[in-house]
Chains A and B, each alone.
Chain A
Amino acid sequence: MAEGALSIKLRCASWQQLATIYKRDLSRSRMFLRAAAPPPIGTAVHVDLTLPSGTVIALEGTVDSHLQDPQRGSGVELALAPLAASSVWLIESALASEQRRIATPVRGVPIAGAHALTGIVPTLGENAEVTAAEQELIKALMSEAESLKKLNPFLVLGVGYEASDAEVRAAFGELTKRYHPDRFARYESIELRQVAAEIFILIRDAYRRLVDAAARAQVLQSIGRTAPATAPGPATRTVAVPPRRPPSVPPARGSARVMPHVPPLPGVPVPLPSSSSGAIPSAIPASRSAPVAAPGAALPVDKSGATAIAPGASRPPIERSLRRVPGEGPPPGAVASPAALPERRPASGPFSQTQPAPTLVEPGEIDALDDLIDQGRLDEALAGYRLLGKRAPGDRNARAGIELCEGLLALAARDRLEAAQRFETALEIDPSNERAARELAEMRRQATNERKGLLSRLMGKKEP
């Protein structure tokens, strides 16, 4: 929804109310709302019309005129966008049976005299608090989904790289309790549930990849960890910070495993252009259920050609999945793993991932600075990263490290906006910067929790 748009909720307690609203307002694509302080003409208004059955019809409209109605008070009239034909049909059918009862009051008594009707004139701002809180929560959840997309499965679940199955399951259980769409059913907002479902799908995919040994080995490999028994992380922290991935294409995964019947197809986990981030763990369902596709990659053509089963393609397609990044592509045959498919914008620095940066910075130096961060010695770490940055002006690790330290410092100073921006910049520079991704996700989780609490409190007040 556009910024500054208003949202109201309108509940019909009975079919008669719906009939009245339909006859008086919807059927002429307009709606009157009472408002003490009418918003300017042209303001977008979103109305959730809840039917007596509890289902919701979403109406979009704009403020068309300001009215002074002697009976209904001062308010605004909305011009509504046309309703979906199916909605209209459904409402009309439902009301057909009510006709006998509603015919008299609506036809016989002019609206001006119908006192009963004034009771159901919705007041703009009646539920404004709740609606605003709901919108805030939706926004918070959406940004949380965005940050989760950038995390590897371990970070999504918040478990260490050596986490046992039981730990993974426990983490999944906790997150399920928090994000399962059913947890949002109480808010009665379909949009909220949809966003929650998006987050839950990410959590579920992460879980599925970690409880399956083979998939987990793949994940570990793609983030540069081969053996599960390396580098035990500190017990107090949930996540052991892994060594920085060298700026090169991650090890190619067996494309055959991902898509056995489309053998040499490189870009199997294709990021959809519609999605805002490329790092969707899209290969999970494919790899998980790959064996089932054994019958072949055939699609029935039509009834006549349906007998053919394609043996599968043997030529790589011309177009690459990474066409969003012109001029940059992994070496032939390499399959970009989901974890390595974060947004690669040209703005991310002079060094593309295919052209390794000159190794002016030793990995050991970065590790040492990371240790400083872990110990909370942020100023020292920042100074260290700045030094590195001067020595190797193009180094992604150094540049991202500076942003990370600035972000952490801002967070310590309770400047959350600044911190979030810093972390985002760090991630843009170095999409594999786990610390930044984790901090961002944590901040967003907190934001969600706060908004959820606020909305619950508001609704609790409204609906005892």
Chain B
Amino acid sequence: MSRIIGIDLGTTNSCVAVLDDKGQPRILAAADGERIIPSWVSWSANGQIAVGARARRQGVTNAAATVFGAKRLIGRKVNADDVSWFARLAPFRIVAAPNGDAWVRVHGQPISPQEVAAHLLRAVRRVAEDALGEPVTRAVVTVPAYFDDAQRQATRDAGQIAGIDVIRILNEPTAAALAYGAHRVRDGRRVIAVFDLGGGTFDISIMSVDNGIFEVLATGGDSALGGEDWDRRVLERLADEVFDRHRVDLTAIPMAMSRLREACEAAKKALSVDREARINLPFLAHDPQGVPINYERAVTRELFETQTRDLLDRLEAPCRRALADAGLAAGEVEEVLLVGGMTRWPAVQDTVERIFRKKPSKGANPDEVVALGAAQYAGILAGESDDAALLDVTPHDLGIRVGDSQFAVVLPRNTMLPVRARRLFATTVDNQKFVTIELYQGDSADVIRNRKLGQVVLDDLPPGPAGTTRVELVITVNVESILSVTAREIKTGRAASVTIRPSGGLSQREIIEIITRRRNEHAALGVPPEAIGGTVRVTTRDQVISKPDDPDDRKP
């Protein structure tokens, strides 16, 4: 049996790790030594696909066909708030799929974010296979703690398209805490905060860890704030300077902007340690007289800090809110773990220290810590490590619709999995013939704003006045977040049940179509199918999936 890898599938960068023979997690590097893979995918006009750093470079010349931030779209509806925000900002087109999901359009072709993510996962898988020298088919993949079941399932589906069996979806803060060894502390329950400032997103999670059991107490963040904002601020400032001096608008020259952006990012990394860095870009552009501009400038940490002071302020409110949600004062957090490259920035660390009134832990590489944690959990699942047992929790309230549009919560969010809950419900009208029990997931008291997962209909109820006929509802959620729902009328024992596998927006048929299409394309090019991957998930004998051709499955 092949090894299980841990994948941090990030908004900006992805990373892969595996547990080595000594039981230590280690990052797998690509052949060129790169340990992180930019989460970018680019389609050239002739159908060639580039992934990672190569795709990001193409983003300059081929912006409309270069997709990044697919994680912001996966499993989402196109009309969700931050999807619309991203759609306005992204240089590529974001369109609505027939079911309302957010897809991208590249060269006129609609592509699901699952497929985009699958390209990334396939690249990650290739890195792992090259590094390990053996085939890789199974992985633990991390997602943000606030991802709902649809986003999680969509991530699994992406894995399936890429030929990876995603055996577990793990919360990113949990993975980070695991890599930091937070679960090994033996003195009872501890409260930790995971402060994750990545390239494009900011997530804060307040968790408790107790004897190897992790519970997410609260999450918060700002999905529109990340390290790229720091780069952009300085980039804009430098572009202004160039305009003032040479009367050249660099923002109109994509290649120049791209070079300058990369230089800013490199300078920022250097400035995390040093106080000064030099940017040196010969032949950046030509001035109106046609004289080449050889750009050279020393940048200081101060320059960055004056340009980005307000960004630091935006870190504070989400932390305060998350603390309030968890019912904790800032001082009650016992440890703050830093995740994401931007947390190397001294001013960010100072801000964290000011908010939580303690020095954050810096024992691990913030770019890699999530992947390392995922690899550790993969080791636990494979039985290679006896370290900890993680408790996954439901990310959102789960309940049923009652009355007109009220949401009766049966399993509150943060309920440990697996779990079983029983509830009794009564009929609402005399001689009611049947009940339709609709299951929803979400945090709104108004059921309409939550996501419908499925329903079970119990008919042939015995006649009787309203309220006398009782229906017992038993909901079981297993560790893979698969729901089994049984409704049983108490008197007659008549029962109906349904198993609901979360849907990520693509039906099994669509997933298989994608795999098939890709194989056929490659077969035409003479690529062996083993190199393409693609797996078909089959349910076990006692599981019923929503049928792929179920019309409900397809409607928005």
Contact = CB atoms under 8 A, between A and B. Distances in A.
B159 to A, nearest CB: 10
A228 interface: no
B488 interface: yes
A305 B429 CA distance: 8
Interface string B409-444: 111100010111111111111001011111000000
B538 interface: yes
Contacts of A268: 424
Contact of B436 (A181, A300, A321): A300
A306 interface: yes
Nearest to A11: B1
A70 interface: no
Contacts of B401: 300
B383 A186 contact: yes
Interface string B197-240: 00000000000001111000000000000000000000000000
Contacts of B434: 301-302
A107 to B, nearest CB: 18
Given A289-B412, A297-B467, A319-B490, A306 B399 contact: no
B535 interface: yes
B435 A299 contact: yes
A173 B210 contact: yes
Given A176-B213, A182-B389, A84 B529 contact: no
A190 B540 contact: yes
Interface in A415-444: none
B468 A317 contact: yes
Interface in B436-491: 436-438, 466-468, 470-472, 474, 476, 478-479, 488, 490-491
A273 B491 contact: no
Contacts of B383: 185-186, 456
B137 A309 contact: no
Interface in A94-129: 94, 96-98, 100-101
Interface string B471-515: 110101011000000001011010000000000000011001001
A270 B213 CA distance: 31
A360 interface: no
B402 A296 contact: yes
Interface in B165-179: 165, 167-168
Contacts of B428: 298-301, 305, 308-310
Contacts of B386: 177
B530 interface: yes
A181 B482 CA distance: 14
Given A177-B389, A186-B382, A298 B402 contact: yes
Contact of A272 (B212, B412, B432, B488): B488
Interface stretch (A143-151, A196-204, A345-353, A375-383): A196-204
A84 B541 contact: yes
Contacts of B438: 300
Interface stretch (B61-69, B288-296, B516-524): B516-524
Contacts of A282: 422
A297 B435 CA distance: 13
B545 A286 contact: no
Interface string A68-103: 000000000000000010110111011011101100
Contacts of B519: 97-98
Contacts of B544: 86
B381 interface: yes
B389 to A, nearest CB: 4
Interface string A298-327: 111110011111111111010101000000
A285 B429 contact: no
Nearest to B495: A274
A186 B168 CA distance: 13
A298 B425 contact: yes
A319 B516 CA distance: 56
B170 to A, nearest CB: 10
A300 B405 CA distance: 9
Given A169-B211, A173-B210, A298-B425, A14 B468 contact: no
B403 A56 contact: no
A184 B471 CA distance: 34
A403 B389 CA distance: 38
A312 B537 CA distance: 44
Nearest to A318: B491
A52 B418 contact: no
B343 interface: no
B406 A295 contact: yes
B188 interface: yes
A55 interface: yes
A31 B470 CA distance: 47
A362 interface: no
A68 B114 CA distance: 49
Contact of B426 (A91, A180, A310): A310
A292 B412 contact: yes
Contact of B211 (A58, A173, A194, A310): A173
A174 B211 contact: yes
Contacts of B212: 173, 176-177
A52 B532 CA distance: 14
Interface in B278-321: none
B391 interface: yes
A295 B403 contact: yes
B165 A55 contact: yes
A315 B138 CA distance: 55
Contact of B416 (A91, A183, A204, A311): A204
A368 interface: no
A56 B520 CA distance: 26
A255 B428 CA distance: 21
B539 interface: yes
B403 A309 contact: yes
A318 B146 CA distance: 45
A61 to B, nearest CB: 13
Nearest to A197: B418
Interface string A42-62: 000000000111111110000
Nearest to A101: B529
A239 interface: no
A170 interface: yes
A141 interface: no
B407 to A, nearest CB: 8
Contacts of A172: 211, 213
A259 interface: yes
B380 interface: yes
B32 interface: no
B87 interface: no
B160 interface: yes
B553 to A, nearest CB: 13
A42 B369 CA distance: 55
B263 interface: no
Nearest to A170: B211
Question: Among the interface residues A53, A262, A456, which one has the most CB atoms of the partner chain B within 10 A?
Answer: A53
B547 interface: yes
Given A97-B529, A182-B390, A286-B422, A307 B403 contact: yes
Interface of B: 1, 137-138, 160, 163, 165, 167-168, 188-189, 210-213, 380-383, 386, 388-391, 399-404, 406-412, 416, 418-429, 432, 434-438, 466-468, 470-472, 474, 476, 478-479, 488, 490-491, 493, 508-509, 512, 515-516, 519-520, 523, 529-530, 534-541, 544-545, 547-548
Among all A-B residue pairs, the 8 with the closest Cβ atoms: A173-B211, A186-B383, A53-B535, A285-B421, A94-B536, A313-B467, A97-B516, A309-B403
27 contacts: A52-B535, A53-B535, A53-B537, A53-B538, A54-B535, A55-B540, A86-B539, A93-B536, A94-B515, A174-B211, A180-B389, A185-B381, A197-B478, A270-B472, A285-B410, A285-B422, A285-B423, A286-B422, A289-B412, A295-B403, A295-B406, A299-B471, A300-B403, A301-B435, A308-B466, A312-B426, A463-B1
Given A176-B389, A182-B380, A299-B402, 14 more contacts: A14-B530, A87-B539, A174-B211, A177-B211, A177-B386, A193-B478, A270-B424, A272-B488, A285-B422, A289-B411, A292-B412, A305-B428, A313-B470, A319-B490
